[in-house]
Structure 1
Amino acid sequence: MNVLLIEPDNCRHDFISQIVPHSAVSIIHADSSHACIEISRQEEIDLIILDCRSSDTDWIGVVNEIRLTRMKRIPVLCLSAPHEEVDLRARMGGVIDDYILTPCSGLQFINSMNFWLGRKAESDFQKKIQVGNFSINLSEERVFLNGNEVHMPRKEYELLAFLFQNVGRIVSRQLMSMAVWGRPISDSSRTLDTHIYRLRKERGISSKNGLRLRSVYIHGYRLDEIGLNNSHS
């Protein structure tokens, strides 16, 4: 399935490509109205995500031309800051199907994307993930440790879900911040570190449960699944 991301720069494309866990979903970037129309002529498009910051572009005409080219009503999501939503709804009329208010967490973004792709039932993202003694049901947003449900604040859950989808990979502090809080993190902020500490000390993300969450100097963090007889946390 192809998602056409229309934005003037590449900042969101790189982020979205890393947080989207579907091997069957491709994110195609277009930096102009001309580029997105050309892409739509060459590729099957299942969803359009549109950044409407360029107010001098006739986005209604662009969307209608893409739909005419593909001969179907492709759903369109508009990225919008809260203070822009009312104006955009007035300008775009019935052309836009939904709005994603930014900044938003990676989990919120993927849930919106999944809904409009119609993949809620069969999506890999919705399946259960088993890591060490933990299992997480991403469709129900529930975490279990040795079969017992673990309750935690929303942001801790989103951070844990993101780490569980990236086991064995080094993930940067900035990517983690974007995925959970929807914005870059400052060098002086300890918010991420505090949440990491709680996952280790209060939620059982440690070697006794078959996991090691470690800091990788300069790069970020890495969660690994290890043998349960490993005594190092």
Structure 2
Amino acid sequence: MESSEIITRARTEGERPPGWVVLPLSRNSVLVGVLGWFTGVVLGLGLFGIMAYSVIPHNYQYGIIAALITTLFLGFLLFVGLGSLWAMIVDTRRLLQADKYLIVITPDEFLKQEGEKIIHVPLMYVRHVTARGAPPPDRSTSSPENRPNPNARENVLSLFGGRAFTSSGMGWRMKRMRTPTSLAFVDSRSEHEVIVVDDKSHGDPFMIAALLKQYAASAQSIA
């Protein structure tokens, strides 16, 4: 099936064949990202401007060490501000063109539309589906974070500061912060890596990975 036909049928709910997985762009998720990047722009460039006004040219008159440290701090703040600005522009563009961002998994094919770019890979060539990052937390009572009998210290902390301030809650948050989530696979025709998602704008990457593995395994077993 041609890419254009898949996209057309995926966007028309009444024409979607059974078994198709259609994942449009989540506007709410992208909007939250834009607001986060805006905060980074304000903090990064704002602090850069304040610091630059305060230390230039004075800090550069006290030797190379003071000048080097000042330059490093200014460079870091400028990097944060400009990097956040670029990411905000990219996400804003995605938000304005949300109808041009789509992931479709059919029983035979994978398709991703990203603006004018379209990636179309038959599932028989999908290999090594890999989700990187921290999976969704285990909410079962057997997990340390959800055990029914936390110790007395955690009970006191959770009473006054909420569960996020307990050791288990803080450990889970730090783990999530250290491990940005992405999903990719290898197209065996070219051995090139195909990035499926690098955020949660189309849903949980681990859920998408499970579906993609299931559909790919089914297509390859039939082939």
Max radius of gyration: which structure?
2
More relative contact order, 1 or 2 (CA 8 Å, 6+ apart): 2
- Structure whose residues are more often strand by fraction: 1
- Give the TM-score, by structure 1 length: 0.20
- Structure whose residues are more often helix by fraction: 2
